[in-house]
Amino acid sequence: MKPRAILFATSEMAPWVKTGGLGDVAAALPEALRQAGHDVRVLLPAYPAVKQAFPMAEMVAELPALAPALPACRLLAAQAGQLPLLLLDCPALFDRPGNPYLDADGHDWADNAARFGLLSRIAARLGQAASPLDWQPDIVHCNDWQTALAPAWLHYEGGAASVVTVHNIAFQGCFGREMLGGLGLPEHSWRFDHVEYHGQLSFLKAGLQLATLLSTVSPTYAREIQDEHFGYGLAPLLRHRAPSLRGILNGVDTDLWNPATDPALAAGYAANRLAAKRANKVALQAEMGLEITADRPLFGVISRLTHQKGLDLLLTVGDGLPHLPAQLVVLGSGDKALEAGFRQLAGRFPGQIAVKIGFSENLAHRIEAGADCFVMPSRFEPCGLNQMYSLRYGTPPIVRATGGLADTVVDVNDETLAERSANGFVLDGDTPHALWLTLERASRAWHDKRLWQRIQQNGMRRDFSWQNAAAEYGALYRDALAIHA
Ligand code: ADP
Ligand code: GLC
């Protein structure tokens, strides 16, 4: 594989800024690409947490204001291990506390068009002859709407080839027409087959329309988003660009998510040393105030609490769990109604159902290890990382057959058991009743200890490392450059 110079542009990167899976991907994929021999640099806003993490970051460029809404900014260079980072420093836009996208009331920051317009603008500029750096990428790799406007400038002004990866098509970055001038886009870009989308400027549409090649994070989601139900209005465009769209399944950071060495756990374990997993269940029950018992399965959830994740189905049937009998532990935050619903559910069943509203990386690891079974009935799931973490942690997932869940979870039945691929439970339908039947089915399987161990081991032995994905991205870059030449 020929090494390429890649600018990986992202609005999140774990562990410094993470609201979901994009943060994990941005931490692991560029490093896997670097290890595959590519010359990768990550472009990331210098949020307060990022600046704190890299106090020694060195200024490498100053850029003037490039449009009325885009202030002057600086680029700072830092290193995450051996991976070079370019931090986009613009205090007026990025030096504020809390969530990268939302204010304290949970509303989008009012100036998000300028914030991520600047991130996209600078990503494009670094791929152009006018770049202030003495390093030029062959490819500008954009992720989600926050960087998806970069291909527009590369298209109008020339520069590197571009790739847009869709991590979630439900978020599209749509703003008023006045932002066209504000961001310095040319008047002629206001076309339905360029950046205009139902009378608005859409960052994601612009990228999907104008990038050299497109990808999304699982093969099934790549097909689904061409369908009206999943495409959130962009299905016709994606059908049009289908030959340029690939589905590349995300990987898992196998160092960070390794039950044998995970420092957050009470006891390490592996596929051939599963007995030690039990100590993690006891520790989790104790930590969450659950009854310490080995006579019933413990279901786990770690999630953004949003419509996407289908956890309203779990709320609907939640009162049945203690009678199954089973225990439940939930870690999540988001939608206020779902947060309240889960709090109330826990209130009705102390000792059997425990809910923690918030974000905790360490507790997430302990739930993956301590739960018996992971519940993720998503309505759509571009890839999903938690079900892969669950598989690695011997915690078989319960999922709907959508997106990356369909590509990673193999339902338990006679045939899949015989071929040793059975690793979890897939809902038959999308109703609360379908979820309930699957919870019952999983609970019965859990009581059959030999069967359960086979299911656990099938999941734990599957290879989810990033090397496979890095090789596929390498091929995508090669093809993008051939088209761009
Ligand atoms: P999405 O990106 O749609 O939220 P993924 O499954 O791809 O879904 O990734 C979610 C990531 O965020 C996982 O690493 C998961 O552990 C983490 N996560 C989600 N909610 C929480 C939480 N409340 N506390 C800790 N980690 C969380
Ligand atoms: C998005 C998706 C999730 C995916 C993640 C990383 O947040 O909702 O399914 O795993 O991006 O690609």
Torsion angles phi and psi, residue 187, rounded to 5: -55, -40
Burial class (CB in 10 A: 0-12, 13-18, 19+), 64: exposed
In terms of domains, do 478 and 446 share one?
Answer: no
Distance CA 396, CA 266 (A): 20
In terms of domains, do 246 and 305 share one?
Answer: no
Q: Is residue 260 part of a domain?
A: no
Centre of ligand 1 from the C-alpha of residue 367, in Å: 12
Write out the two tokens for 370.
């301590």
Q: Is residue 215 part of a domain?
A: yes
For residue 168 and ligand 2, the question of a CB distance below 6 A is answered with yes
Q: Is residue 264 part of a domain?
A: no
For residue 24 and ligand 1, the question of a CB distance below 6 A is answered with yes
For residue 22 and ligand 2, the question of a CB distance below 6 A is answered with yes
Please answer whether residues 217 and 240 qualify as being in contact, where contact means their C-beta atoms are separated by less than 8 angstroms: no
Residue 25 CA, closest ligand 1 atom number = 7
Angle, helices 150-157/112-126, rounded to nearest 10 degrees: 50
Mutating to test ligand 1, I would choose from 216, 306, 385, 387 the residue with most ligand atoms within 8 A of its C-beta, which is 385
In terms of domains, do 90 and 221 share one?
Answer: yes
Going 312 to 316 to 319 to 321, the CA torsion angle's sign is negative
Write out the two tokens for 402.
């959508």
Query: Across the chain, which distance is largest between two alpha carbons, in Å?
Result: 67
In terms of domains, do 334 and 348 share one?
Answer: yes
In terms of domains, do 220 and 362 share one?
Answer: no
How far the first Cα of the chain sits from its last, in Å, is: 18
In terms of domains, do 339 and 191 share one?
Answer: no
In terms of domains, do 217 and 82 share one?
Answer: yes
Residue type, 190: W
**DSSP structure string for 58-73:** EEEEEE---BTTB--E
CATH number of the domain that residue 59 is part of: 3.40.50.2000
Residue ID of nearest Cα to ligand 2 atom 3: 384
Q: 81 lies in which domain range? A: 5-251+466-484
Cβ-based neighbour number of residue 164 at 10 Å = 31
Q: Is residue 269 part of a domain?
A: no
Q: List 102's β-bridge partners, or say none.
A: 108
Write out the two tokens for 310.
């289908």
Distance CA 25, CA 63 (A): 28
For residue 385 and ligand 1, the question of a CB distance below 6 A is answered with yes
Distance CA 22, CA 143 (A): 8
β-sheet with 174-175: strand ranges across: 174-175, 200-202, 196-197
Total domains present in the chain: 2
Centre of ligand 1 from the C-alpha of residue 99, in Å: 14
In terms of domains, do 285 and 414 share one?
Answer: yes
In terms of domains, do 449 and 480 share one?
Answer: no
Q: Is residue 363 part of a domain?
A: yes
**pLDDT reported for residue 19:** 92
Residue keyed to tokens 């999540």: 332
**pLDDT reported for residue 265:** 98
In terms of domains, do 453 and 478 share one?
Answer: no
Mutating to test ligand 2, I would choose from 383, 385, 400, 464 the residue with most ligand atoms within 8 A of its C-beta, which is 383
Residue 385 CA, closest ligand 2 atom number = 10
Mutating to test ligand 1, I would choose from 304, 399, 464 the residue with most ligand atoms within 8 A of its C-beta, which is 304
In terms of domains, do 435 and 322 share one?
Answer: yes
In terms of domains, do 207 and 279 share one?
Answer: no
Centre of ligand 2 from the C-alpha of residue 450, in Å: 33
Q: Per-block average pLDDT, block size 10, for the chain (485 residues)?
A: 93 95 97 97 98 97 98 98 98 95 94 98 98 97 98 98 98 98 98 97 98 98 97 98 98 96 98 97 98 98 97 98 98 96 98 97 98 98 98 98 98 98 96 98 98 98 95 98 95
Q: Is residue 27 part of a domain?
A: yes
